[in-house]
Amino acid sequence: MTEFEVPVLSIKHLNKQFGTGCAHCTNPEPDALIKNYCKVCGTVFACRDVSFDVYPGEVLGVVGESGSGKSTLMQCLYFDQEATSGEAYISSYQNGLKNLFQESSQQKRYIRNNLMGKVYQNPLLGLKIDFSSIGNIAEKLIAAGSRNVEMMEARGTDLLGKVNIPIHRSKEAPKNFSGGMQQRVQIAKALSNNPPILLLDEVTTGLDLSVQASVLDLIKSLQRELNISIVLVSHDLGVIRMLADRTMVMLDGQVIEQGLTDQILEDPQHAFTQQLVHSLL
Amino acid sequence: MENLLEIKDLEKSFTLHNLGKNIRALSGIDIMLKEGEFIGITGKSGSGKSTILKCIYGTYRLQQGSIWYNSKKFGPINLADASNRQMIYLRQHEIGYVSQFLNVMPRTTARQLVKQAILEMGADYKMAERETEKILLHFELDQELWDSYPGTFSGGEKLRLNIARAMVKKPRLLLLDEPTASLDYVSKLKVKILIEQLMKEGTTMLGIFHDLEFMNNLVDREYNMHNGAFTLSS
């Protein structure tokens, strides 16, 4: 089947293992591992042969139980972790011909600062907690090559306004803010360089319902207005239902099922997906 | 391709892993739908009527058979092997689905809901705004409701909004899943007028109805279902 669109982000055969592996677990026998753990050498296979495409303006949901490799996958995409093997291509980088995982660390930093934004579950990871909020945004802009203070201030104010942080608090450090506000500063920071790809890792986990709603509404409206492509990791199927066009399900580091979000929720095929969906309803 | 939709030997079953069961929902379903035709499906609850529509719309994945649809964008395409992205495109531009339940997006007003549907088709913002007002007026939705949340609407209002949202896209193929269930007489009449208008505009429709009287005056042909198969057609 020929595709009629070009993916923005394309991941092929991504593998990530923690540990060196041994003769026992590199041998492709089905019983070599306990879940994704090798009992002989202790290697954990966090992502196993993960492949997917993300298209312009779409939200791809990633669900799975804790420990299924969702966050590791996101860390590999943002170069927080080095992928053990695999390929990644971004259509707007070198015409999508260069494997990002094999680029130099300078180039990786360029990609991360200019073509991607990431929001972590824990705001401490995405923010300098005792810098001012607007300074946090400026930091990302400077990393992306901006040098004009006036322009950065205008951009920062504009973004903080978009995520509903009052202007008079923009010079305050995120450590003074509530969790929901910190999360919104993080989103503003991630968006500051107009990235075509946004990675969201459990952004609403741990927030109370009304704050959760405002963060979700914000993501939805930003995605509509700016047509950003989003990879959204969540174990909350409600969040996935609301935001994701397509969804993939991970278990023990592997993608066990993917499809339209309504397919996954209404006609789950794999035993684990069925269990997950039934736990919700 | 001569017909707009050709379903051949459709089979669908559900495997429930936790119960160790396999439930067959449909077998040997064949449907031919010409452009501009309106076919009705009747049958008892649980006979598999909605399952057919969900297979066409891509919500359910089938085990066997083919669903050929003559797309404007892709030409003849078997929906059973269409990619997810193709299905998303078709849902946004060509195939509409109206269920008896409105899937309300939380904190989205009626106006935003319709506008979003128009924007998905690639219209610009201004035009979407104009079209939204036009269609809401047309569907006689109380102006007071335009900027409130559909979660608070009555069944009839929800349904009209639901049809409005599907209709505004002028789909080539419209799937109606009991569009008159739980409506009073006046609301039913309104829905009927809307359907008649769609027929006049040449929309091809496949609908499920419990209200036989309502259906008989509208459809070109009808199928009756029992236990996941057609029993008689006329």
DSSP A197-217: EEEEESTTTTS-HHHHHHHHH
Q: How do residues A174-196 score in pLDDT, each as one tens digit?
A: 999 988 899 999 999 998 988 99
Residue among B17, B83, B106 minimizing CB distance to A3: B83
Supply angle C-alpha B99, B103, B108, rounded to 5. 140
Task: Give 3-state DSSP helix, strand, coil % of chain B, rounded to 5.
Answer: 35, 30, 35
Determine whether B43 is exposed, middle or buried from the number of CB atoms within 10 Å of its CB (0-12, 13-18, 19+).
buried
Domain around A153: 125-194
Answer whether residue A204 is part of any domain.
no
A245 contact B CB<8A: yes
Cβ–Cβ gap A263/B106 under 8 Å: no
Answer whether residue A163 is part of any domain.
yes
Cβ–Cβ gap A275/B89 under 8 Å: no
Range list of β-strands (E), chain A: 9-18, 44-54, 59-64, 85-90, 116-119, 197-201, 229-233, 246-251, 254-260
Structure confidence at residue B234 (pLDDT): 53
Number of neighbouring beta carbons within 10 Å of residue A62: 27
Chain B: give the shortest CA distance to residue A117, in Å: 24
A211 or A72, higher pLDDT = A72
Residue among B60, B83, B119 minimizing CB distance to A1: B83
Question: Which residues in chain B have Cβ-Cβ distances shorter than 8 Å to A4?
Answer: 73-74, 85-86, 89
Q: pLDDT band for B70, please (50, 70, 90 cuts).
A: very high
B92, closest residue in chain A (CA to CA) = A245
Supply angle C-alpha A63, B66, B29, rounded to 5. 105
Chain A: give the shortest CA distance to residue B224, in Å: 25
Backbone φ and ψ of A174, nearest 5°: -60, -20
Answer whether residue A205 is part of any domain.
no
B97 or B180, higher pLDDT = B97
Supply angle C-alpha A105, A110, A112, rounded to 5. 90
Chain B: give the shortest CA distance to residue A129, in Å: 31
> Tokens 């009073």 identify what position?
B184
Nearest to A79 by CA among A43, A45, A104, A54: A104
Question: Which residues in chain B have Cβ-Cβ distances shorter than 8 Å to A58?
Answer: 85, 88
Tell me which H or E stretch contains B176. strand B173-177
Number of neighbouring beta carbons within 10 Å of residue A219: 24
Answer whether residue A85 is part of any domain.
no
Question: Which residues in chain A have Cβ-Cβ distances shorter than 8 Å to B15?
Answer: 269
pTM of the shown model? 0.90
Answer whether residue A245 is part of any domain.
no
Is pLDDT above 50 for A1?
no
Alpha-carbon span B23 to B45, nearest angstrom:
16
CATH superfamily of B35-62+83-233: P-loop containing nucleotide triphosphate hydrolases (3.40.50.300)
Express as a percent the part of chain B with pLDDT over 90: 45
Q: How many domains does chain A have?
A: 1
Find the mean pLDDT for residues B31-36.
Answer: 94
Extents of the domains making up chain B:
35-62+83-233
Is pLDDT above 60 for B233?
no
A214 contact B CB<8A: no
Q: How far apart are the first and last CA of chain B?
A: 23
A111 or A215, higher pLDDT = A111
* 3-state SS assignment for residue B161: helix
Is pLDDT above 50 for A94?
yes
Output the average pLDDT for chain A: 90
